[in-house]
Chain A
Amino acid sequence: MPLDTAWPEGTVHQVPYWVFQRAEVLAREQEMIFRGACWHYLCLEAEIPNAGDYRTTQLGELPVVVARDAEGVVHAFENRCAHRGALIALEDGGNTKDFTCVYHAWRYDMAGNLKGVAFRNGIAGKGGMPKDFRLEDNCPRKLRVAMFCGLVFGTLSAATPELEEYLGPEISGRIRRVLNGRTPEVLGRFTQALPNNWKLYTENVRDSYHASLLHLFFTTFEVNRLTQKGGLIVSKSGGNHVSWSAIEEGAASSEYAQQQIRSDSDYRLADPSLLHGFQEFGDSCTLQILSVFPTFVLQQIQNCIAVRQVVPRAVDRTDLHWTYLGFAEDTAEQRIMRLKQCNLVGAAGFVSMEDGCVGGFVQRGAAGASDQQAVLRMGGHDALSSDTRATEASVRGFWKAYRAATGL
Chain B
Amino acid sequence: MLSEIANFQAAYARCLDDQRLEAWPDFFLADAVYRVTTADNHRRGLQAGLIWANSQAMLRDRISALREANIYERHAYRHILGLPLVEQDAAGATRAETPFIVARIMRDGTTDLFATGRYLDVFARDDAGALKLRERVVVCDSSRIDTLLAIPL
Q: Which residues of A contact B (CB under 8 A)?
A: 92, 186-195, 214, 216-217, 220, 265, 267, 269-271, 273-274, 319, 324, 335-336, 339-340, 342-343, 346-348, 350, 353-354, 356-358, 360
Q: Are B52 and A354 in contact (CB under 8 A)?
A: no
**Separation of A350 and B50 alpha carbons in the complex (Å):** 10
Measured between beta carbons, the chain B residues less than 8 angstroms from A347 are: 50, 145, 147-149
| B53 adjacent to A357 (CB under 8 Å) | no
Residues of B in contact, count (CB < 8 Å): 36
Q: B51: which A residues are within 8 A, CB to CB?
A: 343, 348
Give the residue name and chain of the A residue nearest to B40 (CB): A189
Q: Are A193 and B146 neighbours in the complex by a CB distance under 8 Å?
A: yes
B49 touches A342 (CB 8 A): yes
- Beta-carbon contact of A186 and B46 below 8 Å: yes
Q: How many interface contacts (CB-CB < 8 Å) are there between A and B?
A: 120
What residues of chain B lie closer than 8 Å to A339, measured between beta carbons?
47-49, 52
**Shortest beta-carbon distance, B57 to chain A, in Å?**
4
Query: Which A residues lie within 8 Å of B36 (CB)?
Result: 348
B64 at the interface (CB under 8 A from A): yes
Q: Which residue numbers of B lie inside 8 Å of A, CB to CB?
A: 36-38, 40-41, 46-55, 57-58, 60-62, 64-65, 68-73, 143-150
Choice from A190, A324, A335, A360 contacting B147 with Cβ under 8 Å: A360
Closest 8 CB pairs of A and B: A188-B48, A271-B57, A356-B148, A348-B149, A187-B48, A270-B57, A216-B69, A347-B145
Name the distance in Å between B72's Cβ and chain A's nearest Cβ.
6
Q: How far is the CA of A186 from the CA of B40 in the complex (A)?
A: 13
* 5 A-B residue pairs with CB within 8 Å: A187-B48, A190-B145, A216-B68, A270-B58, A343-B52
**Given A193-B145, A339-B48, do A350 and B68 touch, yes or no (CB 8 Å)?**
no
**By the criterion CB–CB under 8 Å, are B147 and A267 in contact?**
no
Determine the distance from Cα of A271 to Cα of B36 in the docked complex, in whole angstroms.
19
A270 touches B144 (CB 8 A): no
Question: In the complex, what residues of A have CB within 8 A of residue B149's CB?
Answer: 347-348, 353
Within the complex, the shortest CB–CB distance from A90 to chain B, in Å, comes to 15
